[in-house]
Amino acid sequence: MTAPGDDEKPLFQREGSESADLASRLAEEIGTRFGRRDETPFFISARDAEGALLCGANGVTHWRWLYVRHFWVAPDARAQGLGRALMAEVERLARERGCLGLYLDSFDEGAARFYERLGFARCGRIENFPQGAARIFLAKRI
């Protein structure tokens, strides 16, 4: 494939099966600069005596940081210390994996304040994402 000339426009496609190829090429380029990403997933949860999910967290570790993709506590189990205990377990896992810190995001201001009480600091914000709210990014070095 040749680059388009001054009077030619690139032919873009909005569909295709090359997504994995694209990700692989980008990973190779980034890996050359920063080292392999080595994503290792995690899932931590707690259940009640009947087996119902009380809380859980999942995400990945990469480049010596742990990303909390999802963090949830059942509504009737909130404000009882379960979220704090779950995050302590997540942080313990981060330390076991040799991480430098943890990061996460939330759409909920109350949740952001909860994470701040656990030592996280705000490091970014996107307004109106979703509409009428904000996406709040937080990080904590360990």
Q: What confidence score (pLDDT) does residue 6 get?
A: 62
The SS3 of residue 23 is helix
Q: Tell me the Cα Rg of the chain.
A: 20
For 52-109, write each residue's pLDDT tens digit.
999 999 999 999 999 999 999 999 999 999 999 999 999 999 999 999 999 999 999 9
**Domain boundaries defined on the chain:** 39-141
Give the β-pairing of 121-127 and 65-73.
unpaired
For 3-45, write each residue's pLDDT tens digit.
656 678 888 888 877 888 888 898 899 889 988 888 999 999 9
Q: What confidence score (pLDDT) does residue 15 get?
A: 82
Tell which CATH classification among 3.30.9.10, 3.30.470.10, 3.40.630.30, 3.20.20.140 matches the domain 39-141. Answer: 3.40.630.30
pTM of the shown model: 0.85
Surface-to-core class of residue 55, CB atoms within 10 Å of its CB (0-12 exposed, 13-18 middle, 19+ buried):
buried
Mean residue pLDDT of the chain comes to 93
Contact 53, 74 (CB under 8 A): yes
Contact 138, 106 (CB under 8 A): yes
